[in-house]
Amino acid sequence: MEKKIFFWVLSLTLVALALALVLPGGRAPDPNPKLPWDIKVDGTGVSEVFGLKLGSSTLQEARDILQDSGKVSLFVTKAGKPELEAYFERIFLSGLRADFVLVLEGDEETLQQIYDRGRRISRTTEVTRKVEIATEDQFLVATFPIKLINYIPQANLEAELLSSRFGEPLQRIPEAETGVVHWIYPEMGLSIGLNPEGKEIFQYVPPKEIDQLIQRLNETTKEERVVN
């Protein structure tokens, strides 16, 4: 009788352990982890992160990796430039939960056509308009390559942790108004915005385009100084 009870308890324990390994909070280790600090740059300057190659991997490939369809919208900035984004909310990838915002690459003429066919035009800020793209364009945008990845982890990340994973940045760009400090890693094509009051934002671009990203960040800080 005691042996039967022992094996019954052992069986329940093994079942509970198996469930813990596959359910959230106790997931089995990812055999091919896709982590935010695992950035590969090949000899031609092409960078890869989260299993996606910037400039060539498509939105559909991202959907396959993230196991989510995301929501695609088109934004028109104050300069009149259309920008196509795919937003993935609370994605669990390789043990970490985060939001992803992918900026997609498309020629100006095609983006204008998508804008013209779009629906529910709304204003998100005083200078930005948002367009929900038409159903017939959903298949088209799935083929567009990814040119920039924004990664917003759910957990608050301390500077010490980031330094241990990425090393010391080559440059720091502070935002006086918000307190955010952007850590720049040119060789990785990476900017990490450390936010003392909110979530950090990682921006991944091809390393050859890091100067453009730095210019945009500097322009933002200049605008803040003018306003103040």
pLDDT digits (tens, 9 = 90+) for 99-134: 999 999 999 899 989 988 987 777 776 657 888 899
Structure tokens at 149: 């990845």
Question: Which DSSP string corresponds to 181-226?
Answer: EEEEEGGGTEEEEE-TTS--EEEE--GGGHHHHHHHHHHHHHHHHH
Question: What's the mean pLDDT in 147-160?
Answer: 94
Q: What is the DSSP letter of 68?
A: S
The per-type count for the chain, helices as H runs and strands as E runs, is 6, 13
Structure tokens at 188: 């990785």
Distance (Å, whole) CA 64 – CA 109: 28
Helical H segments across 118-185, by residue range: 138-141, 159-166
* 95 three-state secondary structure: coil
If pLDDT is split at 50, 70 and 90, which confidence band does 1 have?
A: low
Domain boundaries, the chain: 34-227
Question: What's the mean pLDDT in 49-64?
Answer: 98
Predicted structure pTM score: 0.82
Instruction: Give me the pLDDT at residue 82, please.
Output: 87
Distance (Å, whole) CA 170 – CA 205: 16
